[in-house]
Structure 1
Amino acid sequence: MTRTGDHAATSAELGGPEGSTTPEPVFRAGDAEVVRAVDGHLARYLAARRAESLALDDDFTVELVDPLVSFVRDGGKRIRPLFAWWGWRAAGGAATGAEADAVLRAVSAVELVHACALVHDDVMDGSDVRRGRPAVHVAMESMHRDAGMRGDGANFGRSVAVLVGDLALCWADDMLHQSGVPHELLHRAGAAWRAMRTEMMAGQFLDLRTQAAGSESIEAALRVNLLKTAGYTVQQPLRLGALLGGAGHDVTTALHEYGADLGIAFQLRDDLLGVFGEPETTGKPAGDDIREGKHTVLVNEALRLADAEGRPGSGATLRAALGDADLSPQRLVEVRSLLVESGAVDLVERRIESLAASAVERLSTVDLPEPAAARLRTLADAMIRRDV
């Protein structure tokens, strides 16, 4: 079992996109060819759209399109296209050929949806770093300052970042529909595509709302995990691929349930990494979730245990740290110790293991072709045993 203090034991480097500053995760090891194909489709599509943008305006291209192109090409784990691809294969879709290549092009569009989510999330959370580099809004604020522009640089940076995310979402839809997948297949998969984007927005809103309300509800935190992460990371990409492949109700239901369990487990691992992860590996400052006041399942479990066991001092310490943007390294160490000693870390670890096991069990309810069934089982294990 991967424990919070020993994440580094499970990383594997495959050599990511040029300029990437974080190691490649172990779960990509079995899908290197798929990832290369996705990277290639994204690179070609973005290059073509950049060329079109130059005809509109040079500044638009350099200051808005180029940040998006760099963000997409220079990092990311490509989890979502991978799950969409294995949804296609689970439905009996071909591994090679023109149809398979068109599907790979289509599912690559999910990565642009992901780019929208991350760029906007950094604006809303006020996060300065993403993938070991300045977040888009921070980079654009610096550009505003270095160019000697007028007005509020921070507002300019945030505004441009919003547009970068919006453009990513627009181009995601364009890329899907220009993929070469037959119209009837795209129509069949449309429900998953629409649900994925709407659920992502709902999850982001609920994340903002629970944070603003200071909600300590574990159920509310799990609901955010389901909508903000599980839906557009595993559930809906799997469903998208499966529907493109013509999967029936039993298969799509099993994959949907697998995706819900595994997606939540994935986010719970993220919650642990957000407090205990190494910045050199995660690409984000240590303790960012605490500084941003995130009421994650981990945090809310610790608060519940402190209250239930009559440890008001522990609860007060944690509540005071949440949302403290100037949280010192020493206080972060104190928070980490509190989370471990409260038993919350062990509870979350056990929940992760249980959810991953449940996800794999869902696959046994239907007859899936190989190698899709085996790969989905492997991915379930790899998704929770990671340090990035």
Structure 2
Amino acid sequence: AVQSWDVVNEVFDDNGNLRNSFWLQTLGQTYIADAFRYARAADPDARLCINDYNVEGINAKSTAMYNLVQTLRSQGVPVDCVGFQAHLAAQYGFPGQVQQNVQRFADLGVQVRFTELDVRIVLPADSAEISTQNAYYTSVVNACLAVTACAGITIWGFTDKYSWVPDTFSGQGQALIYDTNYQPKPAYAAVHNALAGSTGDTTPPSTPTNLTAAGVTSNSVNLSWTASTDNIAVTGYEVFRNGSLLSTVSGPSTTVSGLTPSTAYQFAVRARDAAGNTSGNSNTVSVTTLPGGGGGGCSASAGVQSQWGNGYVIQPVTVTNTGTAPITAWTVAFTLPAGHTITGFWNAVVTVNGSSVTAKNMSYNGSLAPNASTSFGFQASRPNGNTSVPSGYACTSP
């Protein structure tokens, strides 16, 4: 007998909206609940699953799916399991809070699974990419092992010889744990050791150095540092403000916003690897934010919510009133890398002129009190293999 069915697959866009599919256009939003009910009638004994990609970490898309599953189950719709496809890429950061995300779905009473795992790399592969690939496979296995309701991991293919990746992502490949000659790769050992409970890696990353602060405003600062190294791979950095953990980022730079004008802060960072080993703290950098000013002013900072070979979602782009007086409108300008095209946007009116982009407030989010903030987002396409994202966000207000 069939143990489980993938009943509803890939129903969300990366911004968390339902995909404008044939099913949605023809049957409306109830098609998802109807599909599960029809599936239960056809097979009363099988587990019925919903499955999607870019939902491994906590982001707008995974939260939309979480809310959907929670709502459907509260209505008695037979959603029994949730699948996280986990098509990952070594050149992008490991998704944030994977274990926590999987656990929150499990807490809804569903079985959870990683259903299509692979970790592609840009070719030709180098040792750093292979180390990162090993770390990503290890992290997924460990996340599943840590959640009681995680029933298993399916790797999306057996050998690199027949992987779907090269035909879909130009210049990328070697995503699986067996090579084209059916020989186990280092990624195989990474998966094996994680499943075997090997204590293996106990070596911490090197300590980040040369932490510096730049671009200080009344409520934000840009931090950067020299990247750490690790015997396997560094998977992220923990940012500390005044001795308390503030955030975790994937690369050696970040923008800290939401600070108070005319206030002194101290920042430090440390590195973390896939095994949970942490480095020593970096040097401490002291920052005093600028005065708030006598009138309106604003700042803009952006985060990458998710990205894939030929596209990405930037969300949130946070707009903050950095002045001491209310503002009634704002404009954010930034630059698109060559070959990139905006394919969708929300919570702003966006105008594109060549590589220059201007985003203006909507009627409902232009008014901001001092220190208040709002946000918008956008999705863009880019050439395959291009890993750059927009930069140079600048905010102005009347």
- Fold-level similarity (TM above 0.5): no
What's the TM-score, normalizing by structure 1?
0.25
What's the TM-score, normalizing by structure 2?
0.24
Structure number with greater CO (CA < 8 Å, separation at least 6) is: 1
More helix as a share of residues = 1
More strand as a share of residues = 2
Structure whose alpha-carbon radius of gyration is higher: 2
